[in-house]
Structure 1
Amino acid sequence: MKARVHVTLKNGVLDPQGKAIEHALSSLGFDGVNDVRQGKVIEFSLSESDPAKARAEVEAMCEKLLANTVIENYTIELNG
């Protein structure tokens, strides 16, 4: 089974990388781009075939390592 985790900063948390991207896009002539937020995507394969067990396993990974749940949100996609 394939897993994809999207990790983004929570609303209200300052995002200096997003702000830098916003300024860079503006300087390249892409006007009208606002409120840029930067995140990360983590993809991996799991040997677990039961979707409920796989989701629980990935949630545990997110809580323990993949996301800083104090300042970040995450979403999980499973395929397979």
Structure 2
Amino acid sequence: MNQLPKESIIKLQSHINKEVVIQFQGGRQVKGTLLSFDNQLNLVLDEVRELPSQRILGLVICRGALINSFAIDGMVEIENPYI
């Protein structure tokens, strides 16, 4: 049985070398420059700062399974479509 490769609904290639904000399970947030990613959505970020403390972390590998949200150019609150 031939299986087609799964495609991610997130098109990260166009966001390489751009600043992103990542929120992890548990609520921690970091902001940095997206350098690379893989098909499990593990991310490599550079010049990373923890938010809101601005603590400098440097080069970080973010495990895709622990990422809750990914924001480019800030976040916008939207109405909950399930209410």
After TM superposition, the score normalised by the length of structure 2 is 0.29
Please identify which structure carries the higher helix content: 1
Please identify which structure carries the higher strand content: 2
After TM superposition, the score normalised by the length of structure 1 is 0.29
